[in-house]
Copies of this chain bind each other. A is one copy, B any other.
Amino acid sequence: MRPQTEAIEAALNELAEFSIFQGKSREQILALCEGGQIVACAHRECLFQMGDEATFFGIVLSGAFKLSRPSLEGEDVIMHFPTAGDLVAAFILTQPKPVFPVTATAMGSSRFLKLPKETYLTSWKAHPELIFKVQEMLATRMSILHDQKVLSKAPLSQKVAVLLMTLFKKNPNDLGFVNPPLTRKEIAESLGSSVESVIRIMSDWSKQGFIRTEDLQIQILRPEKILEQATFSAKS
């Protein structure tokens, strides 16, 4: 048995938890991960670059990544924050000569299970329910984009509130920590605004005791208050 396969077997417990593999036996999961290898990424390490030929897809095992694209002015715009259990780049592989449409960068040290394109186009393809699950995940991601687009004319505070609550609800947490941990810059890049504006809004919330920040960890102390910001464009 090759070392890679061993490593994947070691990660099997994690994999079995992920929604994409619900209802699959350990053997089936191993088969679906054929040819895979686990990659450990340090903070800010790049998993793949936009424009690279897409020879693989994969699943985030732990930590988080940001998927971003540079704008014409050279600033990055963040499209998505895949976290543990999320599929990355699966749905573009159906194209004849697929190319990554975004750059993936690790946020904090993260682990990623890299699977060859062929595995998707053969083993995965043979399981319609699996492909349907991929489609479902894609649909939720699309829905996030829609949610953000609806806010295009909304005040920035509302956008920040929706972003924080979306991430918070995606990976709930007793202590109210937003996952993944974000810098204000990343929030700004995700919303298409400037760091300073985000800071002004969030320090306001901090002063009012709605949130608390400690070392990138954003803690939501008063979810109701943030939700209020998100649902009304309330101004005082």
Residues of A within 8 A of B (CB): 69, 71-73, 75, 77, 79, 91-92, 94-95, 101-102, 125-126, 128, 131-136, 138-139, 141-143, 145-146, 148-154, 191-193, 231-233
- Pick the contact of A134 from B79, B92, B135, B151 — CB < 8 Å? B135
Chain A binding surface, main DSSP class? helix
Is B192 touching A153 in the complex (CB atoms < 8 A)? yes
Is A71 touching B154 in the complex (CB atoms < 8 A)? yes
With A125-B128, A128-B131, A132-B94 as contacts: A77 and B150 at CB distance below 8 Å: yes
Is A154 touching B92 in the complex (CB atoms < 8 A)? no
Is A152 touching B94 in the complex (CB atoms < 8 A)? no
Complex CA–CA separation, A153 to B151 (angstroms)? 14
Is B153 touching A75 in the complex (CB atoms < 8 A)? yes
Which residues from B are CB-within-8-Å of A139? 91-92, 94-95
Complex CA–CA separation, A132 to B98 (angstroms)? 13
Is B149 touching A192 in the complex (CB atoms < 8 A)? yes
Which residues from B are CB-within-8-Å of A148? 149
Q: How far is the CB of A53 from chain B (nearest CB, A)?
A: 16
Is B146 touching A135 in the complex (CB atoms < 8 A)? no
A91-B139, A102-B146, A152-B191 provided; 14 other pairs, C-beta below 8 A?
Answer: A72-B233, A92-B139, A94-B132, A125-B128, A126-B128, A128-B128, A131-B131, A135-B135, A135-B138, A138-B138, A142-B145, A148-B149, A149-B192, A152-B192
Complex CA–CA separation, A101 to B136 (angstroms)? 13
- Pick the contact of A146 from B101, B138, B152 — CB < 8 Å? B101
Complex CA–CA separation, A148 to B79 (angstroms)? 11
Complex CA–CA separation, A151 to B70 (angstroms)? 10
Q: How far is the CB of A183 from chain B (nearest CB, A)?
A: 18
